[in-house]
Chain A
């Protein structure tokens, strides 16, 4: 380093003007407010965790979603499972699995006295193999964390795969409803006049039509497909979005920045999509977050009625329907899918409420 280098260490550098004047943006402000709302943050984290659970969970479970095991029908959660090994001439011919609740129905336990039976059971529980007749029984490492259904399928894996469909349909159908609702509302609100009156009248009329009924008819009449499912749901859930967007846009369009854009000679579409819609994104995000649980609920209702997702695919609605049928004998088949479904709805509703308070403090009721 040479001597003529200026000594700058003692000079206090004033903060640049840009930085000093930088206010907090709407989004930063909203994020700060959202972070203070504990329930909303818990909801957000919870939803992300459930989504991850469904997306990557199946890679950590040693069973496939369609894998059936006839001998393992309706296992209780965490029920010990015994391997039944059939040997012939010292070679293992066949291995299958028996849950603890059915082991006493095995021939080896029916035909012997009570003392022998208890002794055999105790031996098995200690982890020692038990030879009885043609079979050797031994406790196995196989475990079904949440039990199995009536076809011996692992419930945990089915819940993960079902969740992919449920959450996927929820997000996709909401996206469809945002697309229709925002464009419709923005056009109606910005162009105004008679067109606005007619367009909003149509929305009013559509509101009075029993739409769930039409979705049901669509699902019955058309060949079942998951694409159709979320298109149909999305096509009925856009009305409220259109109303919200239209209201905000028709208030915004008289503001100076729109006048400036008009005087610059920008086209209507350009003004709507580049200048107006970004300004209503807050409400759109809030309402979308609240639409997702509604859509998921509708999907589950359809699946519950046997009209939504068709086998071999499953969704939480399908699993709840299956579980509800056998609630007396295998309550866990209803309990676990219902719990994760409700938990997801909880998370999304809390997140939506929190976002509303954060992005639109005026509408907050507190």
Chain B
């Protein structure tokens, strides 16, 4: 198991090198720079600013200097927020995204798994069609449609939650991250439900289930003890892509609900050509995704001994 984890961690290195190099080249080669504004500053000012941030050095020098700093865990200064380093920007904004993402994942599993199990057990009855139609609608109503609709219903009509962002928090009984999390959670819950149903159906038709039924094991126990472990395999595999999806989903919901999360900072940084903030965010996301995929693989290996070998 340790060897498995070690191998996967080694894989992190080429991924990061590719990600950093591609992002670095893309950002530097793009037209425009962090100091090109609509009101043109004098060339001397821009020159001095570039010199201050080290953007006047040749590209390879900048590249290796960045790698050296990265090795020390420093992501460099931000040009959008002159008083903060990139580390500070991430430390301030990521907790918001993390809370929304975690709650969204919890909502997705809490809705998706029971719905999928129910549909599989009561296959081709109303209890199958009804949740599965809901799941299909969930997939076809993307977050940027669901978000504004939920904002209108719960925020403006019912006044249960606030939709103007955390800063303008009124005293509403829903926490400000709930509606964004619900928006994302319903979307991924739909996928989880479909995957659960598929996985459960596959296991339910196998011989050992029939044996258990023949032995007279009660059906609740069959589902919980014998089927669920195998049936949830597709859901576990989906968690990796779902996590990456939650990150890009956070770009959308943070825009819709005006949340000061990392996704919003990333989009802003890209528009502002804030080189070190772009690079820092992308590297951070890449590490996060690789580590999460590793976790998923470990869970997989724990559930299914065949994978370990």
Chain A residues at the B interface, C-beta cutoff of 8 Å: 205, 208-214, 216-218, 220-223, 293, 297, 300-301, 304-305, 317, 320-321, 323-324, 327-328, 331, 334, 338, 341-343, 345-346, 349-350, 365-366
Contact = CB atoms under 8 A, between A and B. Distances in A.
Given A209-B286, A210-B289, A301-B252, A328 B156 contact: yes
A297 B142 contact: yes
Given A208-B290, A217-B26, A365-B202, A345 B244 contact: no
B247 to A, nearest CB: 6
Contacts of A223: 31
A205 B144 contact: no
Contact of A349 (B14, B22, B30, B139): B139
Interface of B: 11, 14-15, 18-19, 22-23, 26-27, 29-31, 123-124, 136-137, 139-142, 144-145, 147-149, 151-152, 156, 197-198, 201-202, 244, 247-248, 251-252, 255-256, 266-267, 270-271, 278, 282, 285-286, 289-290, 293
Q: Which of A300, A321, A324, A341 has the largest count of B CB atoms less than 10 A from its CB? A: A324
Contacts of B23: 214, 217
A341 B11 contact: no
Given A209-B286, A328-B156, A220 B270 contact: yes
Given A217-B26, A324-B148, A208 B293 contact: yes
Contacts of B290: 208
Contacts of B22: 214
Contact of A304 (B29, B140, B144, B286): B144
B15 A208 contact: yes
A209 B202 contact: no
Contacts of A334: 145, 148-149
Contacts of A341: 142, 145
Nearest to A338: B145
A220 B269 CA distance: 10
B248 to A, nearest CB: 4
A300 B144 contact: yes
22 contacts: A205-B18, A208-B15, A208-B293, A209-B286, A210-B286, A212-B244, A212-B248, A213-B282, A213-B285, A216-B266, A217-B23, A221-B270, A297-B142, A300-B142, A301-B248, A304-B255, A321-B144, A327-B151, A328-B152, A341-B145, A342-B141, A349-B140
Nearest to B147: A324
A218 B290 CA distance: 22
A209 B19 contact: yes
Given A221-B27, A327-B148, A328-B156, A209 B140 contact: no
A320 B146 CA distance: 11
Contacts of B282: 210, 213, 217
A205 to B, nearest CB: 6
A297 B138 CA distance: 13
B27 A217 contact: yes
B145 A222 contact: no
